[in-house]
Amino acid sequence: MEELISKIKYLLDKRRLSEVKSLLPLHPEDVANLISRLEKPSHKLLVFRMIPHDRAVEVFEYLPDDEQETLLRSLTDQEVKEILDDMSPDDRTELFEDMPAELVKRSINLLSPQERKLALEILNYPPDSVGRLLTPDFVQLYEDMRVKEALDHLRDAGIGKETIYHCYVLDKEKKLKGVVSLKKLVLADPSTKISEIMYKDVIKVNVNTDKEEAANIFKKYDIIALPVVDSNDKLLGIVTFDDLVDVLEDEATEDFEKIAAVLPVDKPYMEAGFFNIVWRRSFWLIVLVTLESISGLVLQKYQSSIQKWVALSFFLPILIDTGGNAGTQSATIIIRSLAIGEIRVKDFFKIIFRESFIGFFIGGILAIVGIVRVFLQQNNWLLSIAVGISIGLTVATAAVIGASLPLIFRKIKLDPALMSGPLITTIVDVGGIFIYFEIARLILGL
């Protein structure tokens, strides 16, 4: 690919355009990748204009958002109109969501009346709703149709549809009554009525359903398309699996960022602004530094104990790190289990009991390890026991805290991923220091 790009750059500089056209890849995604790799905007525009009209829309849909925006600013109004009119409604909506307002307004005004009406309807749905992803390009059948009529209709209308593998059966009021697969249509007797072979218990979602919830329905039922209805059960459109894959990827990325204590960045790493990244990464660090300062106040309270037993300070990092790691383990498992639907908030007490038992068991193992470790270094059984018990209790406490906080956040309608590893670690640090010195005070008689 690198050699091809270098050659095309050279030919473009020499204005040998016919040779460039003969070298363009066949697959639209490869052409889009090539355009993205060209540095000069003029070169990008030249190559895009070489693509035949029937492939140009596909190439455009594969381009990154910023490349699409650049091309829309460079193309003539007629060229923009042709591209946007032919784009699938869901891809067009995604493009409009990321474009500046003035460019969106210009683009919508260029659409044909029918496409403009559709675009505005979709953009009026809530930003995180499944309505923003729907496309009206589905095959619709009617209950009183015969299989032969349905197949004839499918041949005529199926070419421009998002999918033909599932056809949706409507009544005269456009309400969703059932679904029939292409396989069933092909194998059925031509004289059979659609109402006799359709599946009536249709898996569907309301147009205001959250995108992530819709994605989970796809995973649960292993389907390739999901019908979207309004409050009156009227079929508005469908959402296909490829659109929900993007949602799952975005949600997973956002959760990873939150778990790492980073405010979600809405652009790829290399495209995001420098100061935007600085702010989003520093915000939680500022919060964590503020919370971590409480540890200093706790240490100040026990400064006389540290002066009497300086060796206590030697093992404080071990205690803090172990407790933080245990809390992060627990929180990560619970956050992920909530995200994929393995557990629910109503299982709170079962989960806490289980994590408590696991925490105490692991804590007991680490307590023994801690006792041996400290004794080998200090040769003092009382100090060893104090440190070991503190590690065990801190790990058990961290496991419970790490499990309970994400569940509590889900209960109060906040994202459980906000209970990130660094935040859990900071909370456990403060508690662990308190446990450590209280145990030491009791055992060592401080």
* Span 157-184, pLDDT tens digits: 877 787 888 899 998 888 999 999 999 9
Q: Does residue 170 sit in the same domain as residue 286?
A: no
Structure tokens at 118: 């559709």
pLDDT, tens digit, for every residue of 231-251?
A: 888 999 898 887 777 776 666
In a domain, 257, yes or no: no
Dump pLDDT digits (tens) for 120-156: 888 888 888 888 888 888 888 998 899 999 999 888 8
Whether residue 14 is predicted with pLDDT greater than 90 in this model: the reply is no
pLDDT of 337: 82
- Round to whole Å and give the CA distance between 15 and 10: 9
Query: What's the CATH code of the domain at 160?
Result: 3.10.580.10
Among candidate residues 288, 293, 310, 315, the one with its CA nearest the CA of residue 435: 315
Considering the domain boundaries, does residue 91 fall inside one? yes
Which pLDDT value is given to residue 147? 92
2 pLDDT more than 80: no
Q: How far apart are CA 304 and CA 307, in angstroms?
A: 5
Instruction: Give residue 86's pLDDT band: very low, low, confident or very high (50, 70, 90).
Output: confident
Q: pLDDT-derived band of residue 261, with 50, 70 and 90 as boundaries? A: low
**Which residues in 145-292 belong to E strands, given as ranges?**
163-170, 176-181, 205-206, 225-229, 235-240
pLDDT of residue 70: 84
Q: How, if at all, do strands 235-240 and 225-229 pair? A: antiparallel
Strands (E), 201-302: 205-206, 225-229, 235-240
Residue 23 clears pLDDT 60, i.e. is over it: yes
AA identity, residue 208: N
- At 178-224, the pLDDT tens digits run 999 999 999 999 999 998 999 988 899 999 998 888 888 887 888 88
What pLDDT sits at residue 294? 75
pLDDT digits (tens, 9 = 90+) for 407-446: 888 888 776 766 566 777 788 888 888 888 888 888 887 6
Count CA atoms within 13 Å of residue 383 on its CB side.
19
For 31-57, write each residue's pLDDT tens digit.
888 888 888 888 888 888 888 877 888
Spatial strand order of the sheet with 138-142 comes to 138-142, 163-170, 176-181
Q: Given this model, what pLDDT does residue 5 score?
A: 79
**Residue 39 located in a structural domain:** yes
How many CB atoms within 10 Å of residue 106?
A: 15
Please give the pLDDT value at position 4: 80
The whole-model pTM stands at 0.61
Neighbours of 172 (CB within 10 A): 8
pLDDT digits (tens, 9 = 90+) for 286-303: 776 777 677 777 777 777
Q: Is 371 a domain residue?
A: yes
pLDDT for residue 269 = 57
What would the mean pLDDT of 335-364 be, rounded to a whole number?
86
CA dihedral 58, 61, 66, 68 (to 10 degrees): 50
Asked if 74 and 42 sit in the same domain, the reply is yes
Q: In terms of domains, do 95 and 49 share one?
A: yes
pLDDT in tens, 323-342: 888 888 888 888 878 877 78
Find the range with the poorest average confidence among 61-70, 127-136, 198-207, 263-272: 263-272
Confidence of residue 271 (pLDDT cuts 50, 70, 90): low
Residues 397, 384: one domain? yes
Whole-number Å distance between alpha carbons of 417 and 284: 13
What integer pLDDT is reported at residue 146 of this predicted model?
93
**CA gap 29, 321 in Å, rounded:** 47
Using the 3D structure, point to which of 128, 143, 160 is the last residue of a domain.
Answer: 128
- Examine the domain organization and report whether 416 and 321 are in the same domain: yes
Q: Which of the listed residues 128, 146, 179 is the one where a domain comes to its end?
A: 128
Residue 337 maps to a domain: yes
**pLDDT range class, residue 275, cuts 50, 70, 90:** confident
Residue at a domain's end among 128, 159, 174: 128
The pLDDT score that the predictor gives to residue 206 is 93
Q: What is the mean pLDDT of residues 400-405?
A: 88
Query: Does 298 share its domain with 433?
Result: yes
Domain CATH for 106: 1.25.60.10
Judgement on whether residues 288 and 432 belong to the same structural domain of the protein: yes
pLDDT given for residue 368 in this prediction: 92
The mean pLDDT value for 345-354 works out to: 90
The Cα-based distances of 23 to 33, 128, 401 in angstroms read 14, 41, 60
In a domain, 267, yes or no: no
Do 116 and 207 have their domain in common?
Answer: no
Alpha-carbon distance 186 to 168, whole Å? 15
* Same-domain pairing of 113 and 227: no
Contact 314, 358 (CB under 8 A): no
Q: Is residue 42 domain-shared with residue 144, that is, in the same domain?
A: no
pLDDT on residue 252? 66
- Residue 266 domain flag: no
Position 335 scores a pLDDT of: 80
Whole-number Å distance between alpha carbons of 31 and 57: 12
Is residue 360 situated within a structural domain? yes
Residue 446 is predicted with a pLDDT of 64
Are the CB atoms for 333 and 300 separated by under 8 Å?
no
3-state helix vs strand vs coil in the chain, percent to 5: 70, 10, 20
Predicted pLDDT at 179: 92
Whether residues 315 and 413 fall in one domain: yes
Q: How far apart are CA 176 and CA 233, in angstroms?
A: 6
* pLDDT score for 193: 92
When divided into structural domains, the chain yields a total of: 3
Both 118 and 139 in a single domain? no
Q: Can you read off the two tokens belonging to residue 66?
A: 């910023």
Domain hosting residue 147, numbered range: 133-240
At residue 21, the pLDDT reads: 82
Mean pLDDT for all residues in the chain: 83
